[in-house]
Structures are given as C-alpha cells and as structure tokens.
Amino acid sequence: MGCHRVQESLLSSASGYSNYRGVLNWCVVMLVLSNARLFLENLIKYGVLVDPIQVISLILRDPHSWPSPGLLLASNIFILAALALERHLAAGSISEGVGVALHTLNLASVLCFPAGTVLLLPSITPVGAVFTLTTYTIIFLKLFSFRDVNKWCRERKKDLKPPQKNHGDNSVTAKKANGAVGTSEVTYPANLTYRNLYYFLFAPTLCYELNFPRSPRVRKRFLLRRLFEMLFFIQLLVGLIQQWMVPTIQNSMKPFRDMDYSRIIERLLKLAVPNHLIWLIFFYWFFHSCLNVVAEVMQFGDREFYRDWWNSESVTYFWQNWNIPVHKWCLRHFYKPMLKRGASKWAAQAAVFLASAFFHEYLVSIPLKMFRLWAFMGMAAQIPLAWFVSKFLRGNYGNAAVWMSLIIGQPIAVLMYVHDYYVLNYEGSP
C-alpha cells in the first residue's frame, strides 16, 4: 500500500499551513532571555541605580517657587470663560461672530499662557512643565470640542421646526434601549452647567457630548486590579528608566561629540530595546490601567481607548488605532470639517499629521526650553512613510515596517534631544 501522495513541504506557502504558535513562543522565550542577559549585564556594570527619592526630588525641587500647581489651578479661568461664552451664545446676548472671536482668543490663551510661563520662570522643572503643558493641551482639545458641539446644537435648533419634542422623546427611548443608567437626558442649552462641563473635563475622552453612555455601577474588583496595575507599572517604568535608559543615554554623548557614526548607531540600537519596552509598558499603564480607573470611578461607559494597533499593516492604521480618544477628536473636529470645506482626503490627512507634529513639539521643546524641531520632523516624516508603506508594502511586510518605525524612530528623537539639551546646559560648565 502506497505511503506517498502529492503534497508541499510544510514551510512552503503553497502548503496552506498557518499554525506557527510554537515559533511565536520560541520568539518570546528568546526575547526574554536576550533581554535578561542585557539587564544582568547592566546590573553588573552599573549596580543598582533605582532611586525613588531622586525622582521625587526631581519633581519637587525648590517647592517654594514651583508654580506648576498654580498653573493647573489657573486653567479654571479659561474653562469658566468658555462656559460663560457658551451661555451668552445660547441666550443670544452675543453674535456668533463675536463668539467665534472670543472662543479663538480663549483657546489660543490656553496654549500660550502656560508656555509663556514655563519659558519665563526658570524654577519650573522640565518634569513639572511636561505635566502642566500636557494638562493644558488636553483642556484645549476638550474646550475646542465643547465649543463645536454647542455650536452644532444651536445650528440644529434653528433648523428644527416645531414641534421639537419628538426629537427629545426619540433620544430618550434610544438611550433606554441601549441599556443606559436611568437618568434623564440633557438637552441644549440645559447642558451648560458646571457639573456637565467638569464631568466632561475629567472624563477619559476628548470629544464632548451632552449625554455620555454610562455604566450601571462601579465594579470594585475591576477598579482595584487597575489601581494595582497603575502603582506597579509606574514603579516599573521609573526603575527601567533609571536603571537602563539613563546610563545608555549618558554613554551616548561621547560618540555624538566625536561624530563617531558607528558608535552612534551601536548606541542607538542599544537604546532601542529599553526605550521600546518602556513605551509598551507606558501604553498599557496609561491607556488600559489609568483610563479605565478614571472611567470606572466616573461610570463612563465607553472604554474603547485603543484598538488592535499591534496588527497595523500601514502607518495610517497605527495612528488611527493606538490612541482612540485623540483619533476621534481629529476625525470629528479636524479631518471631517476639512473635507466639508473641500479639502482632499490626502490634504486633510497630512494636515492632521502636521497638527499632531505641532503638539508633539510643543510638549517637548517648551519644557526643555530649546527648539530643535526633532519631534515635529519625526511626526511630519510619518506622511511620506505612510505613503511608502501603503504603496510598496503589504501584510506582514507592512506590519514589520510599522514595528521598525516604532522601535528605531523613537530612540533617534530621544538621543537628538538629550544630546542638544546636554550641549546647551552642561557642556563647557565646570
């Protein structure tokens, strides 16, 4: 009886075989072992460098002149100004044109006021400045959305013909059908209250709605798990930065000064591993642990803070799925309005990348008090990279290109900024 038949070798693409789970496990084991060796080498060479007190002193240095908390409290001025403007617009006491001008001035102040304060006051530490400017950037995006949605409500109210009660009744019915908490739905302009606005400002979203989907209760076990993750991963992040990143960056300064390109590339590749690991841990810590804690406490129902960006086969797919709150804001308040004004999809997409590049640079250059545009150029470079990957790479090749850009691109920017900051502040000093 014959024991042979026509068939392809298992590793041939024509065989149709696709179960490579064992190979994936092997890659994970090899990754763990190789990084364990690097970490052990780091411990032998530098000893234990983890020092939580050093981090606290970095943040709270000279606390009597540390104005970052004052800046955070001052943000309420711009928040209350936005609410007052919307109330006047709802009452018809100011025209839409005046409202647009005043909102624009208020939003510009949200970005300019903290930036000017950070640049003028040397007592603000870079860490405090990053936290403050990030908070103000979030407030800017939220108030922008708050203004747009209320404007749309006014336009819709003008277009609606009486009786208008049918729209509200339908909304309440749909809300109950979707399983929302049994609270009455807010309609415009009843939403213009301190409670409504501040709920939105603390909610884990950048896109304003009059009525957010709400979860029925606070799940205590879920909340405790996320809180434990928050505490554990923030300590792990600090430890990895002190133990692994800082020595590698410090050892990279001499090759940069000597312009030793082979050593620069070697340091870049050495930095890529801990930098990428820290970025992955930060992603989980912030987008899963932190945002879920905030959402659970506030009973905020929409928990889609990220999608499967790790399967990205194009650069565009990655940026659309790794940070859903920002993506939704860009789509709703930037991309679609540009399309409505007649811009092409490519131009609107490029504009979104450039706007993102501006905010990346804003959050790096101002705290460091130096303007090098590395973050801006890194984000702007995503435009040709997105075109190249979508044009020439598909499937696994596209996914590999996305991973390569994440693993290599970030440490390049880190080294450039650290080098320039070192030259500007420490080189030549006794």
Give catalytic residues, as residue numbers: 360
Nearest to 70 by CA among 7, 5, 124: 124
Q: Which residues contact 300 (CB under 8 A, 6 or more apart)?
A: 203, 204, 205, 212, 213, 214, 215, 294
Which DSSP symbol is given to 146? H
Residue 354 host element (H or E): helix 345-368
Q: How many helices (H) and strands (E) does the chain have?
A: 19, 0
Pick from 236, 229, 181, 186: which is nearest to 55 by CA? 236
- In three-state secondary structure terms, 210 is coil
Roughly what angle, to the nearest 10 degrees, separates helices 126-159 and 194-202?
A: 130
DSSP assignment string, 107-127: HHHHHHHHHHHHHH-TTS-HH
Assign residue 370 a region (left: φ > 0; alpha: ψ between -120 and 50; beta: otherwise): beta
d(CA 85, CA 148): 13
Q: How close are the terminal C-alpha atoms of the chain, in Å?
A: 88
Place of tokens 């606390």: 63
In whole angstroms, what is the distance from residue 58 CA to residue 128 CA?
9
Q: What tokens were used for 185? A: 């739905």
